[in-house]
Amino acid sequence: MKSISIIEQANKVMTDKSKQDNIYSKPQSNIAGFTFDENVARVFPDMIKRSAPGYEPIIDMICMLTRHYVRPNSNCYDLGCSLGAATLAIRHGIHVPGCRIIAVDNSASMLDKCRTIIDRDKAETPVELMCADIRDIEIRNASVIVLNFTLQFIDPSDRLSLLQKIYDGMMPGGALILSEKIVFENPQKQSLLTELHLAFKKFYGYSDLEISQKRTALENVLIPETVNTHINRLKKAGFSRAEHWFLCLNFASFIAVK
């Protein structure tokens, strides 16, 4: 699939040791809430691959899903684009004329690096980068919208109105691809999958200290919900079809079609 080279392109820009995530490797007396600042942007490809099980296959599938749902003369949105991995997956999935991609993030550090990565890619579809809060932007004439691990950072009380805005700005037959860290209703399942997510991070080289300090930083910043909460909210927002299509440990992806 084309997006393998997309991950490689991001990696080319970010491969040396200084781009490895060691943000939480030293003990910190006061752990501030997690923000997407310059330090995070610098190591982001390494951080997300070692923290989010299933991230790379989901990026590949965004390319394939875009190919299926994109329509001529429409807009595609990547909301919370970070360094643009999903933006490039969308771009390489587009095979029809007249499309435009709008990639949005409210971290200027992320968007600066995203611009460098997008500029190195030679695909034709224009990409407009916007530094904005995704709750404030206008969405219109969309055939494909991606929220790849972004909704989890939005205040839960704002999530339904954001999804309603996405639904309203989408053409009939358009699709939203929503990926999220999730929690499970069953406490035993939740405990097992939490243990396995911990094992995943250790397998990819994070220490106990790094894992626990990052967990503290993300508390009240990344708020995961259950599969049922997501599906019910997507339906409430208006989507006639909303299904859960991918699960890797406690990381899931959903597709919702208008």
Name the residues that contact ligand GEK, by CB under 6 A.
36, 48, 80-82, 85-86, 104-107, 110, 133-135, 148-150, 153-154
Q: How far is the CB of 4 from ligand GEK (least distance, A)?
A: 15
Q: How far is the CB of 85 from ligand GEK (least distance, A)?
A: 4
Are 87 and 59 spatial neighbours (Cβ–Cβ below 8 Å)?
Answer: no
CB closer to ligand GEK, 153 vs 246: 153
Picking from 189, 198, 188, 185, the residue whose alpha carbon sits closest to that of residue 224 is 185
Q: How far is the CB of 163 from ligand GEK (least distance, A)?
A: 14
Q: How far is the CB of 257 from ligand GEK (least distance, A)?
A: 20
Which residue number is nearest to ligand GEK in terms of Cβ?
A: 80
Which two three-digit tokens encode residue 124? 């034709």
CB closer to ligand GEK, 20 vs 235: 20
CB closer to ligand GEK, 74 vs 82: 82
CB closer to ligand GEK, 62 vs 99: 62
CB closer to ligand GEK, 63 vs 81: 81
Q: How far is the CB of 188 from ligand GEK (least distance, A)?
A: 26
